[in-house]
């Protein structure tokens, strides 16, 4: 089924062949984005499955972690350390337009399939190498997971309450963002190859990705030599902006600009605040944000979230109930945007997954295939794509290079 339409439009990446050698989140997500828009993606996975298949919770003995990053892919099991595996990998590289990998730099060279070797096999191949710190620099060989990226890039130092300890994001934000950047790099490289016939190496680092997302704090340091402290749920540059406790739960209110501050003062029936010269400028409101937040908090505490929402919606003041995951998953907006999609798997039943956030009028993303189990598509990959005979495949299975 399609995220947005009936799927009759031609997929923009139809005909693009992708070899996915990646694991965990960033690389698999990069390849899945390409698959959602029509690329033919073959995922190579070690027998027994990558590490993430062994992380609970489980549905029908399959980690639900795998449902997030592997739809629309063909899965083939291959013991890449087996002596016969190198020949199979080389044939897959010859087949592919794009190869996605996220091993630690230097690993694919040790496997015998580094970028120079890939170019010998397939001169116009595109290699998307996703890593922790990139292919160059003094930290390039360091291992990295999402939390290490958040800590090393400066993101964690920005997150949390003033005076408190640095805090991780509530999701794998570094891995997700790096996966998106990898997909962008792959698409740009495909476009370049269509124009010139040249392949290239796309080097995407989680550390770089998070560093580039530091925003105004980074520019403040670079241009002004000023460090900004953690701000909790406040806005960095305007006030009053924060989470307030309504009578039945938390609500976030953004009233930081001059026009929005005037509007919330009107909603609260507080012309004294609106006319006070202390609050007439951004700097003035920032210097008095605790006082202003106290006044808004007192107003909000005697009202329900629904009452606050009704008043602020009519006034044009941005607000949001602080929703939990269960609430937002059931919301009409999520349904209207097609952000939960379903696919049927013959063994796992109905799989529900987050939809693709890129909504395209003519060529929408599609869910054509449920996330596969390990080696589910061995016959298709090895016989239909690579053209191995039944005897050759049986020999690889007997040797242990291919399982099951």
Find all residues with CB under 8 Å of 2, minimum gap 6, and list them.
Answer: 338, 364, 365, 366, 367
∠ CA 62-170-167, rounded to 5°: 135
CATH number, domain containing residue 302: 3.30.1540.10
- Same-domain status, 253 and 288: yes
- Same-domain status, 35 and 127: yes
Q: Which of 282, 303, 327 is the last residue of a domain?
A: 327
Whether 4 shows a pLDDT value over 50: the answer reads no
Taking only the tens place, the pLDDT of each residue in 67-96 is 999 999 999 999 999 999 999 999 999 999
DSSP of 216-275: HHHHIIIII--PPPP-TTS-SS-SSEEEEEETTEEEEEE--SHHHHHHHHHHTT-HHHHT
Annotated catalytic residue 175:
yes
Show the beta-strand stretches assigned E in 255-325: 319-321
CATH number, domain containing residue 379: 3.40.50.10540
- Same-domain status, 196 and 271: no
pLDDT of residue 3: 43
Find all residues with CB under 8 Å of 155, minimum gap 6, and list them.
Answer: 149, 169, 173, 174, 210, 213, 214
Tell me if 175 is assigned to some domain: yes
Whether 51 shows a pLDDT value over 70: the answer reads yes
DSSP SS3 for 66: helix
- Same-domain status, 323 and 341: no
Whether 7 shows a pLDDT value over 70: the answer reads no
Whether 38 shows a pLDDT value over 50: the answer reads yes
Per the model's pLDDT, the better-predicted residue between 160 and 3 turns out to be: 160
Tell me the C-alpha distance between 114 and 178, whole Å. 21
Taking only the tens place, the pLDDT of each residue in 94-124 is 999 999 999 999 999 999 999 999 999 999 9
For the segment 335-350, the average pLDDT, to the nearest whole number, is 97
279-299: string of b/e by CB count within 10 Å (b at 16+)?
beeeeebbebbeebbebbbeb
Predicted confidence band at 10 (pLDDT cuts at 50, 70, 90)? confident
CB 144 within 8 A of CB 207: yes
Show the beta-strand stretches assigned E in 72-200: 73-77, 98-101, 126-131
Taking only the tens place, the pLDDT of each residue in 169-228 is 999 999 999 999 999 999 999 999 999 999 999 999 999 999 999 999 999 999 999 999
Task: Identify the CA nearest to 333 among candidates 347, 342, 323, 346.
Answer: 323
Mean pLDDT, rounded, of the chain: 96
For the segment 267-278, the average pLDDT, to the nearest whole number, is 98
How do strand 17-20 and strand 40-45 relate by DSSP bridges? parallel
Q: What percent of the chain has pLDDT over 90?
A: 97
pLDDT of residue 388: 97
Whether omega before 240 lies within 30 degrees of 0, making that bond cis, reads yes
Predicted confidence band at 2 (pLDDT cuts at 50, 70, 90)? very low
Q: Which of 293, 308, 327 is the last residue of a domain?
A: 327
* Annotated catalytic residue, options 175, 203, 208, 377: 175
- Same-domain status, 273 and 131: no
Predicted confidence band at 403 (pLDDT cuts at 50, 70, 90)? confident
Predicted confidence band at 1 (pLDDT cuts at 50, 70, 90)? very low
Whether 5 shows a pLDDT value over 50: the answer reads no
Whether 133 shows a pLDDT value over 70: the answer reads yes
pLDDT of residue 241: 98
- Same-domain status, 170 and 68: yes
Taking only the tens place, the pLDDT of each residue in 279-337 is 999 999 999 999 999 999 999 999 999 999 999 999 999 999 999 999 999 999 999 99
Q: Which of 293, 327, 361 is the last residue of a domain?
A: 327
- Same-domain status, 70 and 142: yes
Tell me if 219 is assigned to some domain: no
DSSP SS3 for 361: coil
Predicted confidence band at 353 (pLDDT cuts at 50, 70, 90)? very high
CB 266 within 8 A of CB 315: yes
Domain span at residue 270?
241-327
Task: Identify the CA nearest to 373 among candidates 396, 404, 342.
Answer: 404
- Same-domain status, 203 and 292: no
Q: Total structural domains in the chain? A: 2
- Same-domain status, 256 and 359: no
Tell me if 272 is assigned to some domain: yes
Tell me if 87 is assigned to some domain: yes
**First CA to last CA distance, the chain:** 29
């Amino acid at each position: 089924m399609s995220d947005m339409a009936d799927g009759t439009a031609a997929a923009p990446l139809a005909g693009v062949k992708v070899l996915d050698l990646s694991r965990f989140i960033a690389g698999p997500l990069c390849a899945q984005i390409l698959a959602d828009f029509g690329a033919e993606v073959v995922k190579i996975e070690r027998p027994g499955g990558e590490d993430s298949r062994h992380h609970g919770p489980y549905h029908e003995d399959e980690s639900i972690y795998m449902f997030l990053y592997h739809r629309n892919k063909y899965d083939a099991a291959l013991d890449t350390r087996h002596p016969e595996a190198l020949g199979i990998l080389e044939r897959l590289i010859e087949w592919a337009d794009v190869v996605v990998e996220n091993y630690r730099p230097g690993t694919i060279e040790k496997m015998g399939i580094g970028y120079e070797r890939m170019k010998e096999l397939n001169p116009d191949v595109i290699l998307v190498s996703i890593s922790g710190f990139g292919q160059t620099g003094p930290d390039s060989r360091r291992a990295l997971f999402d939390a290490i990226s958040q800590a090393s890039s400066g993101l964690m130092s920005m997150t949390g309450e003033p005076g408190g300890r640095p805090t991780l994001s509530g999701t794998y934000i570094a891995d997700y963002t790096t996966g998106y950047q990898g997909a962008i790099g792959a698409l740009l490289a495909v476009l370049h190859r269509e124009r010139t016939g040249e392949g290239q190496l796309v080097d995407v680092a989680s550390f770089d990705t998070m560093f580039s997302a530091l925003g105004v704090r980074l520019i403040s340091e670079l241009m002004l030599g000023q460090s900004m402290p953690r701000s909790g749920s406040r806005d960095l540059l305007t006030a009053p902006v924060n989470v307030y406790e309504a009578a039945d739960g938390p609500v976030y209110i953004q009233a930081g600009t001059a026009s929005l501050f005037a509007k919330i003062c009107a909603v609260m029936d507080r012309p004294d605040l609106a006319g006070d010269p202390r609050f007439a400028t951004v700097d003035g409101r920032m210097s008095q944000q605790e006082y202003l937040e106290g006044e808004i908090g007192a107003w909000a505490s005697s009202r329900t979230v629904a009452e606050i929402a009704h008043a602020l919606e009519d006034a044009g003041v941005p607000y949001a109930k602080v929703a939990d995951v269960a609430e937002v998953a059931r919301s009409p907006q999520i349904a209207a945007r097609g952000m939960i999609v379903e696919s049927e798997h013959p063994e796992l039943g109905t799989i529900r997954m987050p939809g693709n956030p890129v909504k395209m009028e003519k060529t929408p993303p599609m869910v054509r295939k449920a996330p596969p189990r390990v080696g589910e598509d061995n016959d298709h990959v090895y016989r239909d794509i690579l053209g191995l005979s039944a005897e050759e495949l049986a020999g690889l299975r007997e040797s242990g290079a291919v399982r099951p």
